Structure 1
């Protein structure tokens, strides 16, 4: 049974600066189902405000409380545990960590996102030293690659998280997809059981296998964005279905409501 819908952003409803053909219409049809929709992204180069602005310019009307980002999850965890952050992130994302309470304790947490050109030896080594001194290790995402503006795949956060894990002998707590807590928070926000959700994504590991492993009932892999032919063959668990695009995903969902 389907009672709620989770949707990835980049590669699913837009690529670069424009919407994927038919995506606005597909979302409109999905919303008319009456089921709640939440958007889950591992994008960590752009703050939440910037993402919402970009989506609006593309013709997508998405409310702030419908969009779940790893930076949002990290900020809440830092406050909850009283941790002062050591940020290894893109400069644009820093606004999502502004105005943290002055009462945060002396204990620290290294927070790693997609820092892009900020992944210098000096920056990575400074993060490593904090980890060696006992700081907690938080990864905003662990994706291997992302579809870059030039239409080719580029290294994503996961490669640099793996380097720090190897050097420090520590495992990062992943806050974005495929974290069970990330999916579970969206489910709680919709008041829907995990097994009654369907996830739509282009990343077979984080969006599809990650969702299914977290307890999401169904996960659809779209052949857009970072999808590469045959990616589903190595997936574990395998996608519920592989469809051409968000429009085909909408057809699949609506046929089962």
Structure 2
């Protein structure tokens, strides 16, 4: 797959691409403004599930990014849409900060919904979820990322807890966020274009770019965030382009 000849939209990961922690990656603010000035449609796809969308947008704006709430698609809100569409009654194992986006636990749940609970993951909460799964409830996970970059280094992400519950309960989780094709399709539908008119910029080779490729979207890997040199020699997948950072990716797209 090659980059589109007629580009109309850019899908952009947030953490590790535009910022790390509370700091914008050098050059990213100006580069995003260049993209916006070009007239290309922009959507921001994040698997961050510890923070509600409103706070994510507020933080990005404080860093200097010109981003509006309707442009940000979160795995948490996509999960809530799925829950509502199916009429599910969930038991949520999530970080308390995203309750505002998700709602309350059902008194008699018929599904277990997992987010990145961070420090709120403990034996009691995981064991309760396990017992519900052993009763036959399905497991829905907002994402299964392995790790992410914080200002003080790499941190464990929720994928390990998804895998633990899958292993112990003998179930397979349904993933809602990246790399699920439906997540990318929702972004394209929101803009109103086909996959051949878009490109994805991300720091996660498999979840960002592998997921995009499965949806027919070209991908650019940036050497920031969770990027590792071994990503460039992955035996099963290669991005369409590799750039030093977001600013360099924008330079290539607008050249």
Normalising to structure 1: TM-score of the pair? 0.93
Q: Deviations over 1:206-242 (max 9, x none)?
A: 11122112221x1000011111112121163310011
CA 1:59–1:214: 2 relative to 1, 3 Å = same
Show the counterpart of 2:76.
71
Q: For residues 232 and 126 of structure 1, what CA distance do their matches in structure 2 show?
A: 40
1:200, distance to aligned residue in structure 2 (A): 0.3
Q: For residues 226 and 172 of structure 1, what CA distance do their matches in structure 2 show?
A: 24
CA 1:75–1:147: 2 relative to 1, 3 Å = same
Q: Are 1:251 and 2:248 an aligned pair?
A: no
When structure 1 is superposed on structure 2, of 110-119 and 35-44 the one drifting more is 110-119
RMSD: 1.6
Show the counterpart of 1:219.
219
Show the counterpart of 2:127.
125
Q: For residues 235 and 58 of structure 2, what CA distance do their matches in structure 1 show?
A: 34
1:12, distance to aligned residue in structure 2 (A): 0.5
1:134, distance to aligned residue in structure 2 (A): 2.0
1:195, distance to aligned residue in structure 2 (A): 2.2
Show the counterpart of 2:111.
109
Is the contact between residue 176 and residue 183 of structure 2 (CA under 8 Å) also seen in structure 1?
A: yes
Show the counterpart of 2:204.
203
Is the contact between residue 33 and residue 66 of structure 2 (CA under 8 Å) also seen in structure 1?
A: no
1:63, distance to aligned residue in structure 2 (A): 1.3
Normalising to structure 2: TM-score of the pair? 0.93
Structure 1: unaligned runs, 5 residues or longer: none
SS in structure 2 at match of 1:32: helix
Write the mapping of 1:1-257 to structure 2, written as runs, cut at 5 A: 1=4, 2-98=7-103, 108-150=110-152, 152-216=153-217, 218-234=218-234, 236-255=236-255
Q: For residues 127 and 149 of structure 1, what CA distance do their matches in structure 2 show?
A: 31
Q: For residues 22 and 148 of structure 1, what CA distance do their matches in structure 2 show?
A: 18
Q: Deviations over 1:43-74 (max 9, x none)?
A: 11111111011011111121111000011111
SS in structure 1 at match of 2:38: coil
Q: For residues 33 and 235 of structure 2, what CA distance do their matches in structure 1 show?
A: 30
Aligned length: 250
Q: For residues 144 and 40 of structure 1, what CA distance do their matches in structure 2 show?
A: 17
SS in structure 1 at match of 2:229: coil
SS in structure 2 at match of 1:230: helix
SS in structure 2 at match of 1:153: strand
